[in-house]
Structure 1
């Protein structure tokens, strides 16, 4: 089934789930075979691996993220300047999201 939400709506849903510490909703914004790079030494591949990686992180009530600004390229690419906050310490991050059929197929994070 194809989801018709926009790339920006998908990224916002991912952010909302992250900030709500809702692991199921967060993982659901990613494709079954999604790839995330830049948050671990090796790429995180697939929803099961995404769930395992983010479970302890989203259990941390002091973790949150704010998108300072974002740009949509075409219909599927979102580039976001984020502040990831953990225990009151913010880390600037540039995140790129490739959104296809309403889910994130690929995400890449570059931390300052």
Structure 2
């Protein structure tokens, strides 16, 4: 796996989010992925990720843009994101641990 491949996985995840394509979004995560910082407790596994995002991704006013990324080694991607809902954006720092083309861990820190 290369740094460019890790960044592409994160880009694919954001593209699926913006397309409101739940299946494609969930497919960027490993079966046992852990996502923290989006809910009160971490989301563990694809099914938990699917359940959390199912209602959110039907919202046509929800979008995400990445305006800066840094890649550490071959698998860590740090992104500064702006998640917008109905025109109101929240700045988020997101870290992604990508292995074998899938996101293993994601952590979101909202401003």
TM-score (structure 2 length as normaliser) = 0.96
Q: How far apart, in 1, do the equivalents of 2:70 and 2:93 lie?
A: 11
Q: How far apart, in 1, do the equivalents of 2:79 and 2:39 lie?
A: 19
1:16 and 2:15 equivalent? Answer: yes
Q: Aligned-pair distance for 1:50?
A: 0.3
Q: How does 1:9-88 map to 2 (within 5 A)?
A: 9-88=8-87
Q: Report what 1:96 is aligned to.
A: 95
CA RMSD of aligned residues (A): 1.1
Runs of 4+ in 1 over 6 A off after TM superposition: none
SS at match of 2:38: coil
Deviation per residue, 1:28-49 (Å, 9 max, x gap): 0000000000000000000000
Q: Aligned-pair distance for 1:89?
A: 0.1
TM-score (structure 1 length as normaliser) = 0.95
Number of residues of Structure 1 aligned to a counterpart in Structure 2: 109
Q: Aligned-pair distance for 1:80?
A: 0.2
SS at match of 1:83: strand
Structure 1 residue runs of 5 or longer lacking an equivalent are none
Q: Report what 1:111 is aligned to.
A: 110
Deviation per residue, 1:47-76 (Å, 9 max, x gap): 000000000010100000000100000000
